[in-house]
Chain A
Amino acid sequence: MRKETKYVSYLDYEGQYKGIFGWIFSTDHKRLGLLYLYAIALFFFVGAILGLTMRVELATPGETIMKAQAYNGVFTVHGVIMIFMVVIPGLSAVFGNFFLPLMIGAKDVAFPKLNRLTWWILIAGSILAIASQFLREGPPDTGWTFYAPYSTKTGTSVIIATTAAFVLGFASILTGLNFIVTIHRLRAPGMKFFNMPLFPWALYAASWIQLLATPVVGITLVMLIFERLFGIGFFNPDLGGDPILFQHLFWIYSHPAVYIMILPAMGVITEVIPTFCQRRIYGYKAIAISSLAIAAVGFFVWGHHMYTSGMSEQARWFFSLLTFIVAVPSAIKVFNWIATMYRGSINLQAPFLYALFFIFLFIIGGTTGLILGAVAPNVQVHDTSFVVAHFHYIIFGGMGFAFFSGLHYWFPKMYGRMYNLKAANWGAIILFIGFNLLYFPQFIIGYQGMPRRYYDYLPQFQWAQTISLIGGIILFIGFFVMVGNLVRGAKKGAIAPANPWNGTTLEWTVPSPPPVENFDEDPIIKSDPYDYK
Chain B
Amino acid sequence: MSEHTHHITPYKTLGIILVVLFFFTFLTIEITSIHLGALTVTVALLIAGVKGFLVLSYFMHLKHESLLLKILVAMVFVLFALIVLITFIDYAFR
Chain A interfacial positions (CB closer than 8 Å to B): 184-185, 212, 216, 244, 248, 252, 299-300, 303, 310-315, 318
Contacts and interface: CB of A to CB of B under 8 A. Distances in A.
Contacts of B68: 184
Contacts of A184: 1, 68
Interface string B56-94: 000000000000100000001001001100110111111
Given A184-B1, A212-B76, A299 B83 contact: yes
A312 B93 contact: yes
A300 B90 contact: no
A237 to B, nearest CB: 14
A299 B94 CA distance: 22
A315 B94 CA distance: 9
A504 to B, nearest CB: 25
A311 B88 CA distance: 11
**SS class of chain B's interface: helix, strand, loop or mixed?**
helix
Contacts of A318: 86, 89
B79 A311 contact: no
**SS class of chain A's interface: helix, strand, loop or mixed?**
helix
A260 to B, nearest CB: 16
Nearest to B89: A315
Could you say which interface size class chain B belongs to?
Answer: 10 to 19
B85 to A, nearest CB: 10
A314 B82 contact: no
Given A184-B1, A212-B76, A252 B83 contact: yes
A248 B90 contact: yes
Nearest to B91: A312
Contacts of A310: 94
Contact of B82 (A244, A248, A300, A313): A300
A28 to B, nearest CB: 25
A179 to B, nearest CB: 15
Given A184-B1, A212-B76, A318-B89, A311 B82 contact: no
A212 B1 CA distance: 24
A229 to B, nearest CB: 26
Contacts of A300: 82-83, 86
Nearest to A187: B1
Contacts of B89: 312, 314-315, 318
Contacts of A216: 83
A252 B1 CA distance: 33
B83 A313 contact: no
A311 B86 contact: no
B79 A312 contact: no
Contacts of B94: 310-312
A212 B90 contact: no
A312 B94 CA distance: 5
B90 A315 contact: yes
A189 to B, nearest CB: 10
A303 B1 contact: no
Contacts of B79: 212, 299
Nearest to A244: B90
A217 to B, nearest CB: 13
* 5 pairs of A and B residues whose beta carbons are closest in the complex: A312-B93, A315-B90, A314-B93, A312-B94, A315-B89
B67 to A, nearest CB: 13
28 contacts: A184-B1, A184-B68, A212-B76, A212-B79, A216-B83, A244-B90, A248-B87, A252-B83, A299-B79, A299-B82, A299-B83, A300-B82, A300-B86, A303-B90, A311-B90, A311-B94, A312-B89, A312-B90, A312-B91, A314-B89, A314-B90, A314-B92, A314-B93, A315-B89, A315-B90, A315-B93, A318-B86, A318-B89
Contacts of A313: 93
A251 to B, nearest CB: 11
A300 B86 CA distance: 8
Contacts of B87: 248
Nearest to B90: A315
A209 B93 CA distance: 29
A318 B94 CA distance: 14
Contacts of A244: 90
